[in-house]
Amino acid sequence: MKKKVVIFKEKSIIFAVSNFNVETFFKIIDMDKLKKESVALCKQSIGDAPIEIQSSKKGEIFEFKPSSNIVVFVNEGSLQITFGMFEPKVISSGEFFFHPLTNKSMIEVLTDCKATIFRFPWDVVFCEHYPMEELYSLTRNTRIDEVFVLHSNDVIKHYMNTILFYHDAGILCSYFYEAKQKEFLYLLKAFFDTEQLSHFFLPILNNDLAFANQIYQNLSNVRFVKDMVVFFNYSYSGFEKRFRRIFGMSANKWLQQERAKKIYHEINCSTKTILEIGYEFGFTSPSHFNDYCKRMFKQTPGRLRKRGIRAMV
């Protein structure tokens, strides 16, 4: 049986390593030099990096609003996430979930936790021959009422361990982690079927990702449909036609749904008073806000908040 040999060239020295593994690789090369070069090459700061490792202690609770679409993989421990109008979901070691940039979330650390965060642009690409639009055809009329979680297999666990090893070894180069990020997407495509992937990425799936991306990125700049029409320089009828084709509903209905999600999250997860939340979202009186919550959520804001507090305990 032939031994597996990997060739690594450092200046004029060529190393041949039998039965190559990561630990052997780092024993051979100059780690201090590698760390300096990787820091020098790093083009992005923490918070923007393609892959980031974060550790948190049991009992920590924080609001999370990512600046991009992310996948969170729990390496160790467990956490509970609440976002949108979903029920709280516990994520344990070896599990991972997709968090769209359009959502705020509340995260409670249940046990000391280490997590790997993958940051993606809007148009997640598995490979050149497998665009995200292909998953969209599987999601028509699909509704999911909870955070959709994928469970890792041995191959993905091994991959995640190498990411931790590289991180602990001091490699910080974002170019390197962009390549590892692509590798992660290849693994998803290899080990999960199209139905699982379509449910996982459901929050961003549609048949016009570029237009949808612009809508989401500028959502905070608009309040009414007329604002969107002006912003995108469309005629009202042209904008509405394209919007319905992508989102499956009128722009006004969609905006109302997005507003409701934000209000629901603020009531359940923020430390603001009910009065502050009401005024923040343009309600002129507590009774007006109370009536809105009864109509949209079938409960008063006070009862919603008590329910949210119980879920976090």
CA atoms within 13 A on the CB side of 247: 21
CB 93 within 8 A of CB 76: yes
Task: Report the alpha-carbon distance of residue 237 to residue 265 in Å, rounded.
Answer: 32
Average pLDDT over residues 270-276: 88
**Topology of the domain covering 209-312:** Arc Repressor Mutant, subunit A (1.10.10)
Instruction: Label residue 246 exposed, middle or buried (CB < 10 Å: 0-12, 13-18, 19+).
Output: middle
Task: Report the alpha-carbon distance of residue 141 to residue 244 in Å, rounded.
Answer: 14
Instruction: Label residue 155 exposed, middle or buried (CB < 10 Å: 0-12, 13-18, 19+).
Output: exposed
Residue 159, pLDDT above cutoff 70: yes
Residue 270, pLDDT above cutoff 60: yes
Domain boundaries, the chain: 51-204, 209-312
* R_g of the chain, CA atoms, integer Å: 23
Long-range contacts (CB closer than 8 Å, 24 or more residues apart) made by 294-302 = 296/260, 296/263, 297/260, 297/264, 301/267, 301/274, 301/277, 302/274
Backbone angles phi, psi at 45, to 5 degrees: -90, 165
CB 259 within 8 A of CB 218: no
Q: How many CB atoms lie within 10 A of CB 264?
A: 21
What is the pLDDT at residue 268? Answer: 80
Average pLDDT over residues 267-277: 87
Tokens of 7: 């060739």
Residue 173, pLDDT above cutoff 60: yes
Residue 150, pLDDT above cutoff 80: yes
Residue 265, pLDDT above cutoff 90: no
Task: Report the alpha-carbon distance of residue 252 to residue 258 in Å, rounded.
Answer: 10
Q: How many CB atoms lie within 10 A of CB 81?
A: 20
What is the pLDDT at residue 44? Answer: 44
Residue 112, pLDDT above cutoff 70: yes
Output the CATH code of domain 51-204.
Answer: 2.60.120.10
| DSSP code for 3 | P
Residue 76, pLDDT above cutoff 50: yes
C-alpha to C-alpha distances, 86 to 50, 103, 228, 264, nearest whole angstrom: 27, 11, 27, 10
Averaged confidence pLDDT in the chain: 77
Tokens of 75: 């390496």
Percent of the chain with pLDDT over 90: 25
Task: Report the alpha-carbon distance of residue 214 to residue 212 in Å, rounded.
Answer: 5
pLDDT tens profile 1-47 = 444 443 333 333 333 444 445 555 445 445 454 444 444 334 444 45
Name the residue with tokens 């180069």.
173
pLDDT band at 209 (very low <50, low <70, confident <90, very high): low
Q: At residue 225, what is the residue type?
A: V
pLDDT band at 123 (very low <50, low <70, confident <90, very high): low
Q: Specify the range with the lowest mean pLDDT, choosing from 17-26, 48-57, 144-153.
A: 17-26
pLDDT band at 178 (very low <50, low <70, confident <90, very high): confident
Task: Report the alpha-carbon distance of residue 57 to residue 114 in Å, rounded.
Answer: 9
Residue 71, pLDDT above cutoff 90: yes
What is the pLDDT at residue 32? Answer: 53
Q: How many CB atoms lie within 10 A of CB 236?
A: 13
Task: Report the alpha-carbon distance of residue 3 to residue 121 in Å, rounded.
Answer: 40
Average pLDDT over residues 221-235: 83
- Residues belonging to the chain: 313
